[in-house]
Amino acid sequence: MILSCRAGNGGLAPIPQQQQPPQQQQQPQRTQTRNIGPGANGPPPTQQQPQQQQSSTPTRPPPAFPWSSRRFNLLPPEVIPTPSVAPPTSPSPNPFPRYGHALPATATSNGDLFFFGGLVREMPRNDLYAYNARDSTMTNCQTIGTAPTPRTGHACALVSNVLIVWGGTENSTDPTSTVKETLDNSLYFLNLGAWFIAFYPVKTCYARVSK
């Protein structure tokens, strides 16, 4: 209580005055504002927890589809070396489009797939091509010996380094052609190491064509 003096009826009288509240009463209000936000005084916000869970889960790779498209490069033809004759430098003729050709189900150890014959613009062919699956190249291969006649609908298999051609029809499917279809019942063996085709007649099997 603070005393103050004022003039009155012949004497001094104390006048009480109201004291101010102590400053310590405002401290609880200040301490309430200090505990807002992350830190040692409280837990981290709950909004950041889902982000941490999403980053920890592994991401799955996109699905792989079985089909793809690749262009092949045409290399110069593989020819039999001839003295005083330079090997060709121009690319091999494009073998496609064609159908009715034969392709083995397996490739060589070098990744080569050989296909023989077939129809090109409704005309049978007896050319041999090698497709390399490693570098996507196509090469026309020249052979020596007795090669099979132009045909379609034949079968082809690869055994070690020998390519076997069997069966098929030897004429065109052109409806305007007057030549009848001729079925072949011979086996042809091509030694891929020597590019030589040997002719072996088969007398015990009937001629046939694949459909």
E-strand stretches of 13-57: none
d(CA 157, CA 103): 7
| The Cα angle at residue 71 between residues 195 and 210, in degrees rounded to 5 | 55
Instruction: Tell the CATH topology of 89-201.
Output: Neuraminidase (2.120.10)
Read off the pLDDT of residues 26-66 as tens digits, 9 standing for 90 and up. Answer: 555 554 444 444 555 555 555 555 555 555 666 777 666 67
Question: Which among 164, 199, 166 is positioned nearest to 184, based on CA atoms?
Answer: 166
Higher pLDDT pick, 199 / 108: 108
Task: Write down the domain spans for the chain.
Answer: 89-201
Read off the pLDDT of residues 156-209 as tens digits, 9 standing for 90 and up. Answer: 999 988 999 988 888 655 566 666 678 888 889 998 877 777 766 555 455 555
How far lies 208's CA from each of 166, 184, 205, in Å?
Answer: 9, 7, 9
pTM: 0.61
| The Cα angle at residue 197 between residues 191 and 198, in degrees rounded to 5 | 105
- Token pair 């301490």 is found at 31
